[in-house]
Structure 1
Amino acid sequence: MNDFSHAFFGYFIAFIALGGIAWCLWLLFAQRRWLGIRPSGAPVDDTGHVWDEDLTELNNPVPRWWTWMYLLLCLFALGYLVLMPGLGMFQGVLGYTTADEVRRHQAQLAEQVKPVYARYAGMTAPEIAADPAARQIGERLFLNTCAQCHGSDARGARSFPNLTDGDWMYGGAPETIEQTITQGRHGIMPPWKGSIEPAAASDAAHYVRSLSNLAADPLKVFRGQRTYETYCVACHGVDGKGNQALGAPNLTDGTWLYGSSEATIVQTILEGRDNRMPAHDAVLTPEQIKILTAWVWGLSNPTPAANANAPH
């Protein structure tokens, strides 16, 4: 309850919670005339509504137990708000949070499955990737955790890398993949709208397309090379092969994260790109990350055992 972007929302929630209880108590007090017990022999009030000629709606006081029930519920609500989180940023006397409960459940689950992962503790990524049981575990971890972005077949989509083609922005070594899964990545292509004119961006796009042997206008390629060498070479290199330390893509291999059309490349140059791979160290255990790393590595480095079990 304390993860508000502004303190106002905490006070707002607290006001609503306490205001609701106060309103119930006021309602009971304001209607106390109708909450009492009607004296014996007193005339019965009615609302004046009659149905089916003889069915009259009366206005009798509610039972006393009903009044006490509302009072006790109001007291219960106040006690709950003191003990548990519910008053905005106040966490409650007991300090309960659902986040702590989730962490406890995760710890219990990790302890339960620990024997499953123990057999892989001393194995390398290629050895794990060649193990049929480990591949099944890795595939399930991938489908539960990664498929939302990279697809169930791991071939990615627009802005989400294909994990099966052997083309890696940060490197495809097992330790690099493990670092990516554990800590995440934040890749930024800066926008050059204020420095490069659209016409020059078009020229640069043709030059970049020529690096991958795509159709390009020779005149634009000639002019675009100068633009590339001025603004792009620092990250992507003189030869356009990128820099894995920076996560700068290789522009010569025909693999495109957003597409290879001139319009798409111009948009990338002028507006930039901002890609995030979330860290999973709070979602997966180190043992699970190790298995998942080996499975992802095996997608572009198939072992003989994996090939034997692959569908034909």
Structure 2
Amino acid sequence: MSTGWSWYVIVLVALNIGGCAWLLWWTAKRRPGDPKPEDTSHVWDGDITEYNKPLPRWWINLFYLTIAFAIGYLVWYPGLGNFAGKSGWTSAGEHDRDKAAYNAKLEETFAPYKGQSIDVLARDPAALKLGRSIFGNTCSTCHGSSAQGAIGYPNLSDKIWHWGGSPERVLETVMKGREGVMAPWGTVLTGMGGEHAVDNVVAYVRTLSTPGQSLQNNYMAAQGQKLFDNICAACHGKDGKGNQQLGAPDLTDAYWLYGDSTAALRETIVNGRHGSMPAHGPLLGETRARLVAAYVWSLSNGNAKGAGTPR
């Protein structure tokens, strides 16, 4: 807060407190010239008369005490512009202390699993239960409570892994995150193969996930193969099986991260895709990251006995 705004707040607070004190003082007693009860002519039911009468002294004193309390509060806690208060209290400091205390309790809970490998944790029902809870709180927003994902968010319950499904690779994904980038190739393909180039590549890509499909009677796919070999094979490989080091998907399986409709495939090729998995290591810490990675790995490796669906 700038010095000018700080003084603005201080003056505003002082005027409010001073105004309240003055108002109490001014109304605490009858003033010369105030009409007597019999002079107001405001009488109801014979004996109920309206006139100016100060509040009871005990009530007035309570108001003065609240003003004194407000002044003491503003001296002890921050509230007057940039003045930090005599106590040195800040909301950020209290948050950090509460967080540190909470993290200390968590560390006690997670300490038995520190440094254990993912496959070992995946065989421990108690570890899986903790991993499932962490997944539900952290990962289910994108991947769903059943870990089956959605359009643009990978299914974690099958055996298809774009970045590798070994325990070490899964932990690396959780800890460091992933950036999956598919460049836009629409302009390049059109320049090389004409206006139908993108449709031809779509036709060829579809044959990769259809066992026994022949290109002999599929002109569009045959044309698309030439373009695929020249451009797409650099990441997805000549056989279309992808590259887990790059996160390039295997195009020979039946799983399509962004949908398998012609429109979705065209959108992917023409405009590209950018999938981002945030790094959760700084958020969770290593032990919690290991537990959730073990749970995720167990979903497709048959070791999640009794783990159930995350809630």
TM-score by length of structure 1 reads 0.73
Matched letter for residue 22 of structure 1: V
Larger radius of gyration: 2
Q: Which amino acid aligns with 1:138?
A: G
User: Given the alignment of the two structures, is residue 297 of structure 1 paired with residue 297 of structure 2, yes or no?
Assistant: yes
Counterpart mapping for 1:170-181 below 5 A: 170-181=163-174
Q: Deviations over 1:94-129 (max 9, x none)?
A: 5644552354034312332145436xx5x5433332
**Pairing 1:208–2:201 present:** no
Counterpart among 8, 33, 39 of residue 43 in structure 1: 33
The structure-2 alpha-carbon separation of the partners of 1:28 and 1:272, relative to structure 1 and needing over 3 Å to count, comes to same
| Residue matched to 1:268 | 268
* Distance in 2 of aligned mates of 1:133 and 1:246: 34
8 Å CA contact 1:110–1:285 kept in 2: the answer is no
Which of 138, 141, 151 is the matching residue for 2:134? Answer: 141
- The sequence identity of aligned pairs, in percent, is 32
Q: Which is bigger in relative contact order (C-alpha 8 A, separation at least 6)?
A: 2
The AA in structure 1 aligned to 2:153 is F
Provide the residue aligned with 1:80 in structure 2: 77
- Pair 1:23 & 2:12 matched: yes
Give the partner amino acid of 1:228.
F
- Counterpart mapping for 1:1-312 below 5 A: 15=5, 19-27=8-16, 34-37=23-26, 42-44=32-34, 56=50, 58=52, 63=60, 66=63, 69-70=66-67, 73=70, 76-77=73-74, 80-81=77-78, 96-97=92-93, 100-101=96-97, 103-114=99-110, 116-117=112-113, 121=115, 124-197=117-190, 199-213=196-210, 218-303=218-303
Offset of residue 165 of structure 1: 1.3
Deviates more, 1:157-166 or 1:273-282: 273-282
3-state SS of paired residue (2:159): coil
**Which amino acid letter does the alignment assign opposite residue 204 of structure 1?**
V
* Amino acid aligned to 1:232: C
Q: For residues 262 and 106 of structure 1, do their structure 2 counterparts lie closer, same or farther at Cα, with a shift above 3 Å needed? A: same
Equivalent position SS for 2:179: strand
1:288 CA drift (Å): 2.6
Structure 1: which 5+ residue stretches go unaligned? Answer: 1-9
Q: How many residues align?
A: 286
DSSP 3-state at the match of 1:238? coil
Q: Distance in 1 between matches of 2:281 and 2:102?
A: 12
Q: CA deviation at 1:143?
A: 2.1
3-state SS of 1:232 partner: helix
Q: How much has 1:310 moved relative to structure 2?
A: 8.1
**By how many angstroms is 1:221 displaced?**
1.6
Please tell me the root mean square deviation across aligned C-alpha atoms, in Å: 4.0
User: Against the structure 1 CA distance between its residues 218 and 185, is the aligned structure 2 distance closer, same or farther, given a 3 Å change threshold?
Assistant: same
**What is the Cα deviation at residue 173 of structure 1?**
0.6
Letter in 1 for 2:156: L
The one-letter code matched in structure 1 to 2:97 is E
Look up the SS of the partner of 1:243 in the other structure: coil
| Conserved 8 A contact 1:28-1:67 | no
Q: Distance in 1 between matches of 2:62 and 2:124?
A: 68
1:191: Cα distance to partner? 2.5
Q: TM-score, normalised by structure 2?
A: 0.73
